């Protein structure tokens, strides 16, 4: 009986693994360029951790279990609660600012669709303990730096930036109470994905009081603002948030990525824990789904029992990113090697099989990547295998050279050949 993979998961055969490594290696390189340190945590946590952050309803959106000790656990659907728990445990010993990144495997119990699976990988970068908006600029820059390194330009992607502080002041100015803001944020987060009529209907459902319904149109008008000066003019309370955003855009210009960013007050991020700057990165084309999202969350550590410490960060999933890279022609099947060999050994005589094994082991022990044919066979067949292996060079062992232990070394790119003595060749590897 053949058992298929679970729906919404992926098997990573070598070609798919090469794509995954291409993405993950790029994420890690960009993180390290900007001074972030890598961390990780357990694949499962206490269920209550996610309920603290997202409410009891989160239990229906993740894979939960009860262990043999009766503890309610969950496979991690995101990394931020784990980050908060880990930082809180050593908050007084960690030098600030804390600049960490991770690339965890995450699982969510949702309906699989294009760009959204039940199991996926996500790049997370966070800066904890830095109040200045420079930290937000660093997070945005690091995300754009990676996307640029992957070949995406300002014509392909855009970073839409807003401020929850500013939006809260605008919503309060039209009469909304604090206890209504979280529900309205969740609706506003869907604005780009649904028709205007459906959006207004959802707002009216969130604000059922007939006296407030007239304010729906004011909210709709507010979220259509496309200029920072317009926002500052609406309410005095928004001015501080607007000044912060202006400084952020100035920093991003100095960092050389101003062509990638724009102000969009419609970006709110649905989760209630965001407190300041928020942003999302979109394909400038037709896709309404964000490649990446993040922002400032100054209350999260205290929500998990720690001190009140400022923080900002972002997350980028691999599924939507891979789709975009393929659509832009930046990632094609067959472009990425499934292995990278320095040498491939072939024998011109079947009697030299043991010599090939001995030489391959010696090459590997000197830190080089090397392989050979288990079956041997005619020289032409072995050379074809060597070409398919993607090896940079082929070493040919032939009877005419075996007495003096001479090797023929062929560069697969140029086709040039050279001879070298066995010991001299190995010595050159040791000293390189």
Q: How confident is the model at residue 100 (pLDDT cuts 50, 70, 90)?
A: very high
Return d(Cα 432, Cα 429) in angstroms, integer: 5
Boundary residue ending a domain (298, 327, 356): 327
Task: DSSP for 365-378, please give it.
Answer: HTT--EEE-SS---
Q: How confident is the model at residue 216 (pLDDT cuts 50, 70, 90)?
A: low
pLDDT reported for residue 431 = 67
Q: Is residue 218 part of a domain?
A: yes
- How is residue 371 written in tokens? 């392989």
pLDDT reported for residue 169 = 82
Q: Name the nearest CA neighbour of 414 among 385, 383, 393, 388.
A: 393
Asked if residues 215 and 149 have their Cβ atoms less than 8 Å apart, the reply is: no
**Residue that wins the pLDDT comparison between 404 and 275:** 275
Return d(Cα 210, Cα 204) in angstroms, integer: 9
Residues 106 and 188 placed together within one structural domain of the fold: yes
Residues 215 and 254 placed together within one structural domain of the fold: yes
Residues 263 and 386 placed together within one structural domain of the fold: no
C-alpha separations of 356 from 61, 299, 349 in Å? 54, 62, 11
Asked if residues 126 and 83 have their Cβ atoms less than 8 Å apart, the reply is: yes
pLDDT reported for residue 409 = 93
- Using DSSP, state whether 423 is helix, strand or coil: helix
pLDDT reported for residue 75 = 96
Residues in the chain: 432
pLDDT reported for residue 288 = 62
> What DSSP element (H or E) covers 173?
helix 164-173
Secondary structure of the chain: what % helix, strand, coil (to 5)? 45, 20, 35
Domain CATH for 303: 3.30.930.10
Q: How confident is the model at residue 55 (pLDDT cuts 50, 70, 90)?
A: confident
Residues 297 and 419 placed together within one structural domain of the fold: no
C-alpha separations of 374 from 23, 47, 182, 332, 357 in Å? 32, 50, 64, 31, 9
Residues 323 and 347 placed together within one structural domain of the fold: no
Q: 35: which DSSP letter?
A: T
Residues 281 and 351 placed together within one structural domain of the fold: no
Percent of all residues in the chain with a pLDDT value above 70, rounded to a whole number? 92
pTM of the model: 0.90
Beta strands per DSSP E along 142-222: 157-163
pLDDT reported for residue 212 = 66
Return d(Cα 329, Cα 311) in angstroms, integer: 36
Return d(Cα 289, Cα 350) in angstroms, integer: 58
Q: Is the pLDDT of residue 417 over 80?
A: yes
Q: Is the pLDDT of residue 401 over 60?
A: no
Return d(Cα 171, Cα 166) in angstroms, integer: 9
**What is the pLDDT averaged over residues 189-217?**
74
Residues 121 and 255 placed together within one structural domain of the fold: yes
Residues 290 and 404 placed together within one structural domain of the fold: no
Q: Is residue 131 part of a domain?
A: yes
Q: How confident is the model at residue 196 (pLDDT cuts 50, 70, 90)?
A: confident
In angstroms, the first-to-last Cα distance of the chain is 52
Considering the chain, what is the average pLDDT of its residues?
Answer: 89
Residue-wise pLDDT tens digits, 355-393: 999 999 999 999 999 999 988 888 889 989 999 999 999
Return d(Cα 83, Cα 124) in angstroms, integer: 10
Boundary residue ending a domain (263, 294, 327): 327
Handedness of CA 165, 167, 171, 176 (dihedral sign): negative
Boundary residue ending a domain (278, 303, 327): 327
- Using DSSP, state whether 391 is helix, strand or coil: coil
Handedness of CA 323, 324, 326, 331 (dihedral sign): negative
Q: Is residue 93 part of a domain?
A: yes
Q: Is residue 231 part of a domain?
A: yes
139-148, 180-189, 293-302: range with highest mean pLDDT: 139-148
Q: Is residue 3 part of a domain?
A: no
- Tell me the pairing of strands 261-263 and 157-163: parallel
Q: Is the pLDDT of residue 33 over 60?
A: yes
C-alpha separations of 21 from 28, 103, 124 in Å? 10, 11, 16
Residues 188 and 315 placed together within one structural domain of the fold: yes
**What is the pLDDT averaged over residues 79-90?**
95
**Residue that wins the pLDDT comparison between 320 and 334:** 320
Residues 28 and 164 placed together within one structural domain of the fold: yes
Phi, psi angle pair for 311, to nearest 5°:
-160, 155
Q: Name the nearest CA neighbour of 39 among 85, 107, 7, 4.
A: 85
Q: Is residue 2 part of a domain?
A: no
Q: Is residue 4 part of a domain?
A: no
Return d(Cα 64, Cα 50) in angstroms, integer: 11
pLDDT reported for residue 238 = 78
Contacts of 156 (CB under 8 A, 6+ apart): 283, 284, 285, 324, 328
Q: Is residue 287 part of a domain?
A: yes
| Helices within 103-157 (DSSP H only) | 134-149
pLDDT reported for residue 289 = 75
Range of the domain at 226: 14-327
pLDDT reported for residue 72 = 94
Residues 313 and 400 placed together within one structural domain of the fold: no
Domain CATH for 419: 3.40.50.800
Q: How confident is the model at residue 68 (pLDDT cuts 50, 70, 90)?
A: very high
Q: 4: which DSSP letter?
A: P
Asked if residues 58 and 109 have their Cβ atoms less than 8 Å apart, the reply is: no
Angle made by CA atoms 421, 364, 11, in degrees to the nearest 5: 140
- Tell me the pairing of strands 311-317 and 119-128: antiparallel
Q: Is the pLDDT of residue 403 over 60?
A: no
Structurally, the chain folds into a number of domains equal to 2
Residues 288 and 376 placed together within one structural domain of the fold: no
């Amino acid at each position: 009986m053949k058992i298929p993979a679970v729906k919404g998961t992926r098997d990573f055969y070598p070609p798919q693994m090469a794509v995954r490594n291409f993405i993950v290696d790029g994420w890690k390189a960009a993180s390290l360029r900007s001074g972030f340190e890598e961390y990780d945590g357990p694949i499962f946590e206490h269920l209550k951790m996610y309920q603290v952050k997202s409410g009891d309803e989160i239990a229906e959106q993740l894979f939960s279990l009860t262990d043999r000790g009766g503890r309610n656990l969950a496979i991690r659907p995101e990394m931020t609660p784990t980050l908060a728990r880990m930082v809180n445990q050593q908050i007084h010993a960690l030098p600030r600012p804390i600049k960490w990144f991770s690339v965890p495997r995450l699982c969510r119990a949702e309906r699989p669709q294009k760009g959204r699976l039940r199991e996926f990988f996500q790049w997370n970068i966070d800066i904890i303990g830095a109040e200045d908006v420079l930290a937000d600029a660093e997070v945005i820059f690091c995300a754009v730096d990676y996307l640029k390194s992957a070949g995406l330009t300002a014509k392909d992607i855009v970073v839409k930036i807003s401020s929850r502080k500013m939006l809260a002041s605008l919503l309060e100015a039209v009469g909304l109470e604090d206890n209504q803001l979280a529900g309205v944020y969740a609706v506003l987060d869907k604005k780009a994905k649904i028709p205007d009529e459906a959006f207004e209907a959802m707002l009216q459902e969130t604000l059922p009081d007939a006296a407030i319904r007239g304010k729906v149109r004011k909210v709709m008008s507010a979220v259509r603002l496309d200029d920072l000066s317009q926002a500052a003019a609406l309410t005095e309370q928004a001015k501080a948030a607007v000044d912060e955003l202006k400084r952020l855009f100035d920093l991003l210009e100095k960092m050389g990525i101003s062509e990638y960013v724009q102000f969009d007050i419609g970006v709110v991020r649905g989760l209630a824990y965001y407190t300041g700057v928020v942003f999302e990165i979109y394909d400038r084309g037709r896709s309404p789904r964000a490649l990446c999202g993040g922002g400032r969350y100054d209350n999260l550590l205290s929500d998990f029992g720690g001190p009140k410490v400022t923080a900002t960060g972002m997350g980028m999933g691999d599924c939507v990113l891979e789709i975009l890279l393929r659509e832009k022609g930046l990632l094609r099947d067959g472009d990425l090697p499934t292995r990278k060999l320095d040498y491939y050994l072939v024998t011109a005589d079947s009697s030299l099989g043991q010599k090939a094994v001995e030489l391959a082991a010696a090459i590997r022990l000197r830190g080089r990547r090397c392989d050979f044919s288990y079956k041997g066979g005619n020289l032409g067949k072995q050379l074809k295998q060597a070409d398919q292996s993607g090896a940079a060079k082929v070493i040919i062992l032939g009877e005419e050279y075996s007495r003096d232990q001479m090797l023929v070394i062929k560069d697969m790119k140029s086709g040039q050949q050279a001879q070298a003595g066995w010991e001299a060749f190995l010595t050159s590897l040791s000293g390189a």
